[in-house]
Amino acid sequence: MSKETLHLLYEDDRQIHENAFTAQLYQTLGDHFSIIGTSHQALIAGAYDVPPANALALSLLRLRNWSRVTPFIARFAEQSGLVFYDQDPWEAYHDKASSPGAYRQTARLVKARRFFVTSGWWADFIRDREGIKTEFVRMGIRPSLCSLGPSFAERPHELGFQGTVHGHREAFFSRLRDRGFQVDCLAREPFQKFLETVQNIGIFVYDDSSAITLDGEPSSFHGLWGKCLTVAGRGCFVIRNYDLGKSHYAIDELPAVFTFKKEEEIPEIVETIRRMSEEERNERRSTTVSRIQERDDWTSIVAALKSLAR
């Protein structure tokens, strides 16, 4: 059976082949659609055929670039309309946002069929505030990248984090040290290397509960569960802050993932994992990896696109 055609706007080859998340999305889209791609450069140059009416067209252009190329996007989408995909919707709304007003302006000037947002909380927020058609879609880790990896006991870093240690994270790790818990921070690595080295961590710990301010109040992203699912899919236990995106990702069905509402809860969570038998730890990790593989969260975007095509 031939695949349905998908017209895809994207930044550049690096985005769709090297970026930790959009590369996975691109591969998943390629599994289900015949892709006709138009890069950011080709869009500006007009080096493409305008997608015809009723064609399915999706944009992976970064939110911060929408306003810079709005007239070009509008021309691209003038017949077919366009679905926008965005992993960072808060960057249009938080107090130090890089792209304030981007959703409102884009919806006004472009024939936008839908905005796919990887946070259920933000999808509701934008729809209620702007009256824009938004839809929640999941991000995650492709099943082929999942691996149980070494046992918990074999991992050299009991508590660890790998990636960029922003200021709010450094403050969080410092407070944990004051409580007697040392979190080993591993250097940021290219994604494929990260997938390997993160399996040196038994419990992946982080906190984004005050990462941004919204209307003057500290706030979580209420999203970014892709990091949690990625490391859980590599056989790590995960301890991270609760936020209002949790239920949208059905985190409660993943027994190796623990969330906290207050930092005071973390010591007991760590001790709970420490007290488990190795058999229970392996069972929790194995169940979590298997469920993430079965869910194949990236396919939620495929399903959402195909529902628009009907």
Residue 1, pLDDT above cutoff 80: no
Amino acid identity of residue 108, one-letter, is R
Decide if 141 contacts 288 (C-beta within 8 A). Answer: no
Class of domain 143-295 as given by CATH: alpha beta
Residue 60 has what pLDDT? 98
Residue 254 has what pLDDT? 98
Domain 4-137 fold: Rossmann fold (3.40.50)
**253-273 tens-digit pLDDT:** 999 999 999 999 999 999 999
Taking all residues of the chain, what is their mean pLDDT, rounded to a whole number?
Answer: 95
The residues spanned by each domain of the chain are: 4-137, 143-295
Residue 310, pLDDT above cutoff 80: no
Residue 208, pLDDT above cutoff 90: no
**4-48 tens-digit pLDDT:** 999 999 999 999 999 999 999 999 999 999 999 999 999 999 999
CA–CA dist 215, 65 (Å, integer): 24
pTM of the model: 0.94
Residue 211 has what pLDDT? 78
Distance of alpha carbon 225 from its chain centroid, rounded? 6
Q: Residue 73: which residues within 8 A CB-CB, separation 6 or more?
A: 9, 43, 59, 61, 66, 82, 106, 110
Tell me what the mean pLDDT of segment 167-194 comes to. Answer: 93
Residue 215 has what pLDDT? 86
- CA neighbor of 113 nearest in space, from 71, 158, 89, 77: 77
Q: Residue 28: which residues within 8 A CB-CB, separation 6 or more?
A: 142, 296, 298, 299, 301, 302
Residue 212 has what pLDDT? 85
